[in-house]
Chain A
Amino acid sequence: MSDNVESFSTQSKTLAKEGLWVNNPAIVQLLGLCPLLAVSNSVVNALGLGIATLLVLVGSNVVVSLIRHQVSDAIRLPVFVMVIASFTTIAQLLMQAFTYELYQILGLFIPLIVTNCAILGRADAYASKQPVHLALIDGLMMGIGFLWVLVLLGGTRELIGAGTLFAGMDLLLGNIAANWQLNLSAAYTPALVAQLPPGAFIITGLLIALKNFIDKRLKPKPTETVEKGSKRVRVTGTIN
């Protein structure tokens, strides 16, 4: 029993590490780039889409794991897609009910969650092979991993592209968030490119570079290896 508990805690730790950082769906696996790049132009949009994706991911992971013994290999993908579609519809209806304005802004990208390969990928690669509790944690961690990148990206783009931060958070969180908006100085001229798709690509690229940079810094330095004889150049004589 204690064995089990311990292994469960280590397992969930691994899952958290994987989902949040090492195997982050957005900046390592580069999955779900389409919604990632399309709607991450402000924090509120990013948060909205991130939460919706998180919900769908957790729900679909759990259900897929539950039915994993009933579904034959041949039809598993259509089944998974149907599960995901159901949860997406739920998320969509919920957003329509509670955050209608945001729903309108995010528009097509909510139903498009169905095609987010991060979700189908997790369902097929992980949830369909693991017990429910692990699938749930995996969905949660992957979802949060996707969410934080999305929010960071959204924040950066909003800041550079519009000169604000947390604008319109009330769309998602209601009136308490009405005054959250931060503005850069009036002298700042927003760089529109950050709001446009090219900006999303550039900033995502920089985020990936940043992650690699941090990883490299954290990694213990390997002992100096001298690269030798990498190039054989025939020279007629000695170098003096």
Chain B
Amino acid sequence: MIKVHTIPGGIHPETHKSMSNGSAAERIPTPDRLWIPVSAGLKYESEPIVNVGDSVKRFTQLTQPKHAFAVASHSPISGTVAAIEMRSVVAMPERQVLMIAIDNDGNNESERRAPMALDELSGAQILDRISRSGIQGQGGAGFSTQIKIAASKQVTHLIVNGVECEPYITADDRLMRDYSDDIMLGIQCIAKAMQLTQITLGTEDNKPQAFEAMQNAAAAANINMQWGVVPTKYPSGSEKQLIQLLTGQEVANGKLPADLGILMLNVGTLAAIGRAVVHDEPVTERLVTITGEACERPGNYWVPLGTPIDALQTFAKDGAKAQWIQGGPMMGVRVTDTTAPITQVTNCLLIQPAVKSTSEMPCIRCSACYEACPMQLLPQQLLWHAKSNNEQKLKAHNLFDCIECGACDYVCPSDIPLVQYYRAAKDELRAAESDRVRSEHARNRFEQRQARLERIEQEKIAKREARKKAAEAKKAAKQVDSDTTTSDKPKAGLLAAAMAKAETSKAPALSAEKLTKQVSNLEAQLIHQQQLLEEAGDDEKRAKIDARIKNTRIKIDQAKAKLASIDDQEQPNA
């Protein structure tokens, strides 16, 4: 058991966990039709590789990533592709995304898998299997696990996040109790592939059974782990906060946990990794806590990805009046369209009696929000400046460090929807920033155009000058009437030849080996930068990182081009 540090702020809402964690997970009957979003990560695109009418089996790959951050999807059932069309998802109510409909044929056929014991797999093979399996972070954020791992080259310390601090949710709790073997497999995979030296489990002190199960499983699997039990407090399970709790360190502003040598994975993600690597099974279902005050049979259920929320209506006590929330009550998203499907980020479906919003009262500056903020922000000042749209002050008060945990909102006696204000303010600042970037671009373009015009003008002048000189020289030559035969033209030809020679003689100086190394280094850099971009808070940083990424891309292209030219040169020799 390691010493646990403290974090500032935090709140103690009623956990309501005993409602749903009483019994082991059950499986819901597979619905007739599933809807699988083509781009599982939503932000980064994949494309469908099946067509309407194709028949698929369980685990058949449905989509192919088009972007490094995108993940593939696989069919959870056997059946036929019934449609590919735009539909709503919970996470982005403001727009629709492309989805693949699969009609269940009830045959329950699976594609052949190639299970392998962990001992027989090399590190590279492990990483390859992870990247093929379409795993996203199962804790709620849904970042591509493959990328997270790829960006963590320097990592020595794996923190297993089993905190699950949001009220009501017990999926991780149940997972640790009933599937600790899968989690241990996942841990072993990561430990082997990344040559980790330190593994720590972080969990809250309100899950003693889960903790015990994990300890037993670790002992059985012969894994040497450290154990950190943190006091029950929201939001201890947030990545930055858990790192602070377990190590006493803070992830510096603009940096990643990887910069501290830490990789944090959720227990659900690790279980998925375990299954993906050893059993060769991509993610096609997840454990969902279905609970709430208006829920009929609260508990944990294995739900195939793509199950429309409509198919779970039987869980609602009072169908029409209940309010559905995807995720926990603190950071979840209201379900506005019940045709939306379950995805990998759906750790919980909360069914609550619909309540009216309470009306907002004036802020009395009671500081309760400040006392609750785990990031040590001044929420009441942020509110003040957000209301007056004071961009500078918002930045000075570190608005972009707000993790939108909602702790301040929870404690506010005046019922001010603080987080809503912050989201709006962030949107606004981002919009303003991109406007600025755009106008910057426009200015740059203008300046470049100006410079180009000038250059052309200069060249014209230079040419004219040259022509004049040439004419004069000709005249002079004529006058002198010399008998030299060398004219200007051949001279220029010689010069060009000499220059070309110099160029080519430079290229081979870089050996092919060096270039290959350079390319791979640059590619690693690119991935790291891309993750930074993903996590970057404000747009200023984003723009900077964007620029860096572009640079890196250019460098990669150049290096590759050179490499290609060398290859071309060498081939004839070989």
Per the CB under 8 Å rule, do A and B touch in the complex? Answer: yes
Quick one: which of B93, B333, B421 contacts A233, CB cutoff 8 A?
B421
Q: Chain A residues near B427: list those with CB within 8 A.
A: 232, 234
Interface 1/0s, chain B 318-334, versus A by CB < 8 A? Answer: 00000000000000011
Q: Chain A residues near B428: list those with CB within 8 A.
A: 232
* Interface residue? B23 (CB, 8 A): no
Majority SS at the chain B contact face: helix
* Interface residue? A74 (CB, 8 A): no
* Interface residue? B420 (CB, 8 A): yes
Q: Smallest Cβ distance from B416 to chain A, in angstroms?
A: 12
* Interface residue? B336 (CB, 8 A): yes
Q: Contact: A237 with B420, CB < 8 Å? A: no
Quick one: which of B333, B387, B421, B424 contacts A236, CB cutoff 8 A?
B333
* Interface residue? A235 (CB, 8 A): yes
| Docked complex: A197-237 residues within 8 A CB-CB of B | 231-237
Given the complex of chains A and B, what is the CA–CA distance between A217 and B252 in angstroms?
57
Q: Chain A residues near B424: list those with CB within 8 A.
A: 231-234
- B contact set with A: CB distance below 8 Å: 93, 333-334, 336, 387, 420-421, 423-424, 427-428
Quick one: which of A233, A234, A236 contacts B336, CB cutoff 8 A?
A236
Given the complex of chains A and B, what is the CA–CA distance between A236 and B323 in angstroms?
13
* Interface residue? A4 (CB, 8 A): no
Q: Chain A residues near B420: list those with CB within 8 A.
A: 233-235
Q: A232-B427, A232-B428 are in contact. Are A237 and B421 (CB under 8 A)?
A: no
Given the complex of chains A and B, what is the CA–CA distance between A234 and B427 in angstroms?
9
Given the complex of chains A and B, what is the CA–CA distance between A37 and B427 in angstroms?
49
Given the complex of chains A and B, what is the CA–CA distance between A237 and B340 in angstroms?
14
Given the complex of chains A and B, what is the CA–CA distance between A237 and B428 in angstroms?
19
Given the complex of chains A and B, what is the CA–CA distance between A216 and B424 in angstroms?
34
* Interface residue? A9 (CB, 8 A): no
Q: Smallest Cβ distance from B535 to chain A, in angstroms?
A: 20
* Interface residue? A238 (CB, 8 A): yes
Q: Chain A residues near B423: list those with CB within 8 A.
A: 233-234
Q: Smallest Cβ distance from B459 to chain A, in angstroms?
A: 50
Q: Smallest Cβ distance from B248 to chain A, in angstroms?
A: 35
Given the complex of chains A and B, what is the CA–CA distance between A238 and B424 in angstroms?
16
Q: Chain B residues near A231: list those with CB within 8 A.
A: 387, 424
Q: Smallest Cβ distance from A205 to chain B, in angstroms?
A: 23
A selection of 5 A-B contacts at a CB cut-off of 8 Å is A232-B427, A233-B421, A233-B424, A234-B423, A236-B334
Q: Contact: A238 with B336, CB < 8 Å? A: yes
Q: Chain B residues near A234: list those with CB within 8 A.
A: 420, 423-424, 427
Given the complex of chains A and B, what is the CA–CA distance between A191 and B116 in angstroms?
93
Q: Smallest Cβ distance from B426 to chain A, in angstroms?
A: 9
Which chain A residue shows the least CB distance to B92?
A236
Q: Chain B residues near A236: list those with CB within 8 A.
A: 93, 333-334, 336
Given the complex of chains A and B, what is the CA–CA distance between A236 and B336 in angstroms?
8
